[in-house]
Structure 1
Amino acid sequence: MITLNVAYTEPVNCSDPCIPTLTREQIWKGLELKARCPQDFIPSFDNSRVIEERDDGSYILREAHVASDLRESPMAGKWIREECRLYRPIMSHFTLPDGSIIQNALSEGPGQDLYLTFTYQWKLFDIEPKTKEAEMARDDHMKLAVSSVQGTIRALRKLAEEHRL
């Protein structure tokens, strides 16, 4: 068993004047939507449902359905129950049943630029440390982190264009 720790950060806005700038408020609203409807942000999910919501919306228990055609995932076609805690206005924290943790953080850098960082602590019970499988898992999960951040930024832009943020 290994715990695989990966993280990826990307600036949310760019210098291209043709691409509208997203505000901190828009990004946070999008992260709140992502906690409730992850399938709008994560292509591997095709459905979700909120089971419980409390503490003024800062605690969400949800189930997300992994797409059946996602052959590379052992979870394909299954529902995953996740606890989500929202720490307004900077972070969402997801805990999976196996103890894996995912965090989505909105941070500020030089010049008040906004950055989105996703961190993962994956519990991989069927992989041994320092093996070829562990190395491949790290590479695969890093690709997942990159695509998740980039996909979330694309989804945020689309929602902003549709005036849903």
Structure 2
Amino acid sequence: MSYAFAVTRPVNPPGAEPAITEEQLWKGLQYKARYPSAFVPMITSCKVVSDEGNKLVREVTFGNSPEVVTETVEAHEATIVYFEMNTGIRVTNMVSYGPADEILLTYGFANGIPGVDAGSPKPSAKELNARVGKGVEGSIAVVRQMVKEGKL
């Protein structure tokens, strides 16, 4: 059985400095598509095979695995980035807005969650929220650092 799950985090929670704009977040997600290891430590290598701007194909390896995973990445400015893996897993990064116009970032997984064996029981929503949420928070932290350094 394959699992699906999604987690949302605020991009600019109280006290976070500097505030990240929608444009900066989107540029950060574009950077993440091409240089994912800065955002996803489990990705140990990435080779972009083709890049057509809003659509690219990349080959990545995870951890110590010798297996190369091919991903087709499709961006729909400035809201959604789809990562379609040749393993059947689909990852979605989505920029959205809350009721007070706060910027939110959601990571969604369909047809499986990396790091969760399809044959094992699905972890609880609380456990997945914590685990996947750390990934979203980590990506926001990388974008914030890039903003601080004037890279975005």
Q: TM-score, normalised by structure 1?
A: 0.81
In 1, the alpha carbon distance for the partners of 2:61 and 2:108 equals 21
Asked if 1:83 is matched to 2:72, the reply is yes
What RMSD over aligned residues (CA atoms) do the two structures have, in Å?
2.1
In 2, the alpha carbon distance for the partners of 1:89 and 1:40 equals 21
Alignment check: 8 A CA contact 1:102 1:118 kept: yes
1:29 alignment partner in structure 2: 27
Asked if 1:160 is matched to 2:152, the reply is no
The residue identity in structure 1 corresponding to 2:88 is: G
What is the deviation of 1:164? 0.8
What is the 5 A alignment of 1:10-29? 10-16=9-15, 19-29=17-27
What is the deviation of 1:47? 2.0
What is the 5 A alignment of 1:49-64? 49-54=47-52, 57-64=53-60
CA radius of gyration, larger in: 1
Q: Relative to 1, partners in 2 of residues 1:112 and 1:66: Cα closer, same or farther, differing over 3 Å?
A: same
1:8 alignment partner in structure 2: 7
Q: Relative to 1, partners in 2 of residues 1:138 and 1:163: Cα closer, same or farther, differing over 3 Å?
A: same
In 2, the alpha carbon distance for the partners of 1:82 and 1:138 equals 26
Return 5+ residue gaps in structure 2 as ranges: none
Q: Deviations over 1:28-76 (max 9, x none)?
A: 000001111110101111221110112xx011101122122xxxxxxx3
The residue identity in structure 1 corresponding to 2:133 is: V
What is the deviation of 1:141? 5.1
Q: 2:91 aligns with which of 102, 114, 123?
A: 102
**Secondary structure, counterpart of 2:7 in structure 1:** strand
1:72 alignment partner in structure 2: none
Q: TM-score, normalised by structure 2?
A: 0.88
Asked if 1:148 is matched to 2:141, the reply is no
The count of residues paired between Structure 1 and Structure 2 equals: 149
In 1, the alpha carbon distance for the partners of 2:144 and 2:118 equals 37
**Secondary structure, counterpart of 2:12 in structure 1:** coil
In 2, the alpha carbon distance for the partners of 1:137 and 1:77 equals 30
The residue identity in structure 2 corresponding to 1:134 is: P
The residue identity in structure 2 corresponding to 1:43 is: P
